[in-house]
Amino acid sequence: MGRRTQSVTISHVAADAGVSLQTVSRVINNEPNVRPEMKARVQASIEKLNYVPSIAAQRMSGSRSYLILVINDRERTIAEWRARRGADWVDQMLLGGMLTCAEYGYRMIFELVDTHHDHVERELSGTIAALQPDGIILTPPHSENPLITNLLEERQIPFARIGSLTPGSGFAIHMGDTASAIMATRHLIDLGHTRIGFIAGAPDYNLSHWRVDGWRHAMTAAGLSDAGLYAQGDFSYERGRVAASALLDQPAPPTAIIASNDQMALAALDIAQERGLNVPSDLSLISFDNTPVVRFTNPQLTAVDQPIAAAFSKAVELLIHQSTSTSGEPYLVEGSLVVRASTAPP
């Protein structure tokens, strides 16, 4: 019987296979210049001893840590968790990132940082010193924070910026928010709507502005006015209720509303139903994100599907395969519109 997994080290594998520690490390890391017969011998010992490679063993071949660090907004993430609102941004992030990391023998670490904190550089520096990641993925609004991006650039740490079109260092990856908003607005226009309201997301997120731009572009292209049809939100359910009420209180209220995330769309749905409006015969609704909750509403919500998992998978691949960040063209991972029962002709 083989040794217990937790007691087996790279030294045991090397001794069993009759090779050096460096040879075992090169096999573990799938590095070139290892003879096939030598690789087969090491792999046979790994299987025989039930050895599980550790990060420490993987580091032996060089300076890599085999860790990809993801930085997410602390305040908003914790607020969502405590409220148990069911948003699956983090779930999809972990799905796409972790699966792709596993394919290449990497691990993904998830950390929360407050991008608005005065000491964000010191906090991030401590995290980097402790983990020594090979690459970092920044999510909004970190993606647009120069304190963070300049720090990573100065330290020559490869990083990816999710939801960013801003020129600069790092791999910029976006999900076509403007095009998605155009697509959602055109869907409503094609149904015959002419008064289409829009609830915007938090203004400190660039993607909020891109979505507003897409809505306005589609309205203008169709010869429609957007006067009185814009309401400012902040991605929260509470602010969504205020914004939806403001739109429906207009002298000529909209016959359709697009909300910049699912929480605000749920708020708009609740406000409509409280006012005795039927969705979709009295009011059509479209949401952004397409989290699981939109399939459990009555009616189910038409939604722009954000390819979050695919975007993080792309980010991981770029960081693993590129030794340095680039300031080239942003990478696009396109979203799609999932039509359900919440949209219909006015």
Cα→Cα distances 1→44, 47, 287, Å: 15, 12, 57
- Rounded mean pLDDT of 244-261? 97
Whether the model pTM is above 0.85: no
**In the chain, which ranges are continuous DSSP H helix?**
10-17, 21-28, 36-49, 55-59, 74-83, 89-103, 120-131, 146-154, 177-191, 206-221, 237-248, 262-274, 308-321
Per-residue pLDDT at 11 exceeds 50: yes
Domain count, the chain: 3
Provide the pLDDT for residue 204: 86
Helix (H, G, I), strand (E, B) or coil at 198: strand
Sheet bearing 302-305, strands edge to edge: 230-232, 196-200, 256-259, 284-289, 302-305, 336-338
- Rounded mean pLDDT of 229-237? 95
- CB 275 within 8 Å of CB 304: no
Residues 113 and 148 in one domain: yes
Provide the pLDDT for residue 84: 79
- Rounded mean pLDDT of 89-117? 89
Banded model confidence at residue 276, pLDDT cuts 50, 70, 90: very high
- The strand pairing partners of 286, in sequence order, are 258, 302
Burial category of 209 from C-beta neighbours within 10 Å (exposed 0-12, middle 13-18, buried 19 and up): middle
Would you give the distance in Å from CA 275 to the centre of its chain?
A: 35
Banded model confidence at residue 327, pLDDT cuts 50, 70, 90: low
- CB 70 within 8 Å of CB 108: yes
Task: Write out the residue range of the structural domain in which residue 15 sits.
Answer: 5-59
Residue 21 lies in a domain: yes
CATH code of the domain in which 50 resides:
1.10.260.40
Residue 345 lies in a domain: no
| Cis preceding-peptide flag for 299 (omega within 30 of 0) | yes
Q: Which residue has the tokens 């609830």?
A: 199
Residue 342 lies in a domain: no
Residue 344 lies in a domain: no
Residues 288 and 313 in one domain: no
Helix (H, G, I), strand (E, B) or coil at 75: helix
Provide the pLDDT for residue 136: 96
Structure tokens belonging to residue 149 = 């991006």
Residues 315 and 278 in one domain: no
Total number of residues shown for the chain: 346
- Rounded mean pLDDT of 164-189? 93
Residues 197 and 244 in one domain: yes
Helix (H, G, I), strand (E, B) or coil at 162: strand
- Rounded mean pLDDT of 277-305? 95
CATH code of the domain in which 135 resides:
3.40.50.2300
Provide the pLDDT for residue 189: 98
Least confident of 8-12, 201-205, 210-214: 8-12
Alpha-carbon distance 250 to 260, whole Å? 20
| Cis preceding-peptide flag for 141 (omega within 30 of 0) | yes
Higher pLDDT, 326 or 76: 76
Residues 181 and 171 in one domain: no
Report the percentage of the chain scoring pLDDT > 90. Answer: 60
- The strand pairing partners of 138, in sequence order, are 71, 161
Residue 341 lies in a domain: no
